A and B are shown apart, each in its own frame.
Chain A
């Protein structure tokens, strides 16, 4: 390819040009706004260089919400294209790019950061720690994720997006355009960030719990993150290697996934799903953790079957690694292998069922309070169970020959991911919003949102089960009228539009609550049960003035009802890490490095590679012992917080 040809969009359309203009204008507006309000220094000191887990968490949240809308626009465009037969809104190439980026953005750049936001914001507070084990590594994790996501997002404007599906199977991902290069390299950069997060949080949870908090006294959300971190550490290196192989095939002409010289395209499918299947449990287990917290809080009961909840999560995490081949039952791996993977897949329904029953039994005889987070959690149970049941249907390998590659499958995984993960994220967002910002989101708008999303979800995805069983293939950009798929797809489009209204309502809710919500809510507005609600709102940067002492898995509840003393002893000086600009700058270099590799610009690629090693060298020699917060300063902050 000619040099400049690589940067051109392979299949330009009006929509792409319009979004380029929109992106350009947004960038100009941000730069102008920061300059006009003289906020560059503030941005740098308080956010870009921060190592505070709460702020890093909030930055993850902002990224996740932005990506939710990017992925959502992709979704709407797909449903609009399929709403009527023989539609010409999108051409086939554009459609391919949109379903690919929708999948990648929603899983890796929306759901993952949303979960890591909860990890960052909640876990240290919930275990009574001052920060994570490696605060600076945590900042690096965030910025690597962010740069990876941004790199992936510019693909449709510079060079063209990946178009081989979010699974990017070879030989489809042959790298004829630069889209597949983007896929391999942008996900690699973000993936390294995620791996570091996993290591960081496993260490944090195992080593930094408050005195008295044994493993079996950890709140359920922390348990879910502990197990998620283990899955991350075991699954993400597989992705790293698979993406490295893919990159080398595309850039250096190796023969891993080629069709001749011994290459093996199925190897990609195996490696991808050895990571990809555990990945969906990386998404769902923290969601289960959040539901457990929320359901026990608003049922005003302790969680039923704590030990079986932990046990089922451990079992799910183990099973998640032995089911990957159910993603290609029909690709000729033989009846015996199919049977094994079929049975292990169905086995996952057992521990998941245990969890569902535990939640139901927590609600049983509970004094249920229908707040917005609780509404999401209650809607989740039947909707998610429906998705679980269709999952068992898909797990039957013989029957899968009928469903595979149809809309039935699309309906199934959206049916588990939307009520399972997205609802949990929104429930958790509403639940933890007061802890973050000191005011509640509006309950009335929140409940409207929950109902709109649920109704929209049912309308959008249930029809897909039907058209899927009738044979509507997925990834097909249009269909003829004679298939009879038209009306059902129109219903789907209407459902998607209702969901879009729901998501816009979230933005309106934030705007409305910023303006009108009461700021006088105290530290514990939900009358909750765990430690994160025991400190002030907003949380001081050292989290707890005195390290709490814990005697049960519901430490705050015990303190409130049984008179357990959480905070004992005098203030002592607190050791805190220093801010650093290096994670941000280093990740910017990673961005340039990724861009250079994608377009085979070898000289910048070499320079940035060297620069990355120079940063690591500097880090090796650096002396940074952090700083101390004096007792007087803690006293001042504490009395001010109590006064307010």
Chain B
């Protein structure tokens, strides 16, 4: 394995560069996936049947809390990658840990929110609107859940194996994924919640 020390750790081998590039292509597919969900949401958002409308069930406080948690986690994972590039393993693990904790907090609030919706009679079977709302939020939430496990595995590997081109590469790709989830959330926040409440 040829390691090119002039490049950042995550780009330092041929295999690493391929993996990062391939992951960007994967994110392209993910963009299409969420774009389809959003397009469907805009199509169905007023088709509420006998169920509640968005304005009736959306509450700003938990949504702001979720936004705060997730945006902050995107910042901390950026700090984690910065620490990784400086070779400071301990700092990197701390920042990754904080990121995952914030992600877990986000997920907790989202689950609470889902329970509230169900309690208010907005289950996934209620209307086309609630079906697409909960599917879109749920798809994002499922991505966050997968991210929590993934991030945890990477932390364990960094702890056990140290910062190598391989673990550095995995950490960096994970950070791309995490930032992507944040971007998707900004769309959810703006075009589902804010638009629905105005």
User: What is A's interface to B at a CB cutoff of 8 Å?
Assistant: 133-134, 195, 198-200, 202-203, 206-208, 233-238, 240-242, 244-245, 248, 252-256, 258, 260-264, 267, 271, 274, 575, 613, 617, 620-621, 623, 625
Contact = CB atoms under 8 A, between A and B. Distances in A.
A271 B25 contact: no
7 contacts: A134-B18, A203-B22, A242-B36, A253-B125, A254-B131, A254-B135, A617-B153
Interface in B19-48: 19, 21-22, 25-26, 28-30, 32-33, 36-37, 40, 43-44, 47-48
Nearest to A620: B153
Nearest to A266: B43
B131 A248 contact: yes
B49 A262 contact: yes
B129 interface: yes
Contacts of B51: 261-262
A248 B29 CA distance: 21
B150 interface: yes
B149 interface: yes
Contact of B149 (A133, A254, A617, A625): A617
A206 B24 CA distance: 13
Nearest to B2: A575
B50 interface: yes
Nearest to A270: B43
A241 B37 contact: yes
Given A238-B36, A264-B128, A271-B40, 4 more contacts: A241-B36, A260-B49, A617-B149, A620-B150
A256 B132 contact: yes
Interface in B67-126: 124-126
Contacts of B130: 255
Contacts of A623: 166
Contacts of B49: 255, 260-263
A274 B40 CA distance: 12
B33 to A, nearest CB: 4
A241 B48 CA distance: 21
A256 to B, nearest CB: 6
Report the 8 A-B pairs with minimum CB-CB distance, sorted nearest first. Answer: A262-B47, A262-B128, A261-B49, A237-B32, A254-B131, A262-B49, A237-B33, A241-B36
A252 B124 contact: yes
B47 A248 contact: no
A255 B125 contact: yes
Given A133-B18, A260-B49, A620-B150, A237 B128 contact: no
B127 interface: yes
Interface of B: 1, 17-19, 21-22, 25-26, 28-30, 32-33, 36-37, 40, 43-44, 47-51, 124-132, 135, 149-150, 153-154, 156-157, 166, 170
A267 B43 contact: yes
A621 B150 CA distance: 10
A575 B44 CA distance: 52
Q: By CB atoms of chain B within 10 A, which of A195, A248, A261, A621 has the most?
A: A261
A255 B127 contact: yes
Nearest to B134: A254
Given A233-B32, A241-B36, A262-B49, A199 B26 contact: yes
A461 B184 CA distance: 48
B28 A233 contact: yes
A262 B127 contact: yes
Nearest to A249: B131
Given A207-B21, A264-B44, A237 B36 contact: yes
Contact of B22 (A195, A199, A620): A199
A233 B33 contact: no
A1 to B, nearest CB: 19
Of A206, A208, A233, A240, the most chain B CB neighbours within 10 A belong to A233
A353 to B, nearest CB: 30
A261 B127 contact: yes
Contacts of B47: 262-264
A256 B48 CA distance: 11
Given A134-B18, A203-B21, A245-B40, A238 B32 contact: yes
Nearest to B46: A262
B98 to A, nearest CB: 21
A497 to B, nearest CB: 43
Contact of A254 (B30, B124, B150, B154): B124
B126 A255 contact: yes
Nearest to A613: B149
A258 B129 CA distance: 12
B33 A240 contact: yes
Contacts of B19: 134
A252 B49 CA distance: 18
A255 B131 contact: yes
Nearest to A133: B18
B44 A262 contact: yes
Contacts of A208: 18
B181 to A, nearest CB: 16
A335 to B, nearest CB: 21
Given A254-B131, A255-B131, A206 B29 contact: no
A248 B132 CA distance: 11
A134 B124 CA distance: 38
A202 B26 CA distance: 10
B44 A267 contact: yes
Contact of B33 (A202, A241, A252, A625): A241
Contacts of A240: 33
A234 B35 CA distance: 10
Contacts of B126: 255, 261
A234 B135 CA distance: 20
Contacts of A200: 22
Contacts of B157: 620-621
A199 B166 CA distance: 21
B30 A237 contact: yes
A613 B152 CA distance: 14
Contacts of A234: 28-29, 32
Given A233-B32, A255-B49, A261 B128 contact: yes
B127 A621 contact: no
Contacts of B128: 255-256, 258, 261-264
Nearest to B32: A237
A258 to B, nearest CB: 7
Contacts of B40: 241, 245, 256, 267, 271
Nearest to B130: A255
Contact of A133 (B22, B37, B127, B170): B22
B29 A199 contact: yes
A612 to B, nearest CB: 11
A314 B26 CA distance: 21
Contact of B29 (A195, A258, A261): A195
A200 B26 CA distance: 9
A613 B153 CA distance: 12
A455 to B, nearest CB: 43
A267 B19 CA distance: 36
B144 to A, nearest CB: 15
B58 to A, nearest CB: 17
Given A237-B32, A241-B40, A261-B50, A254 B22 contact: no
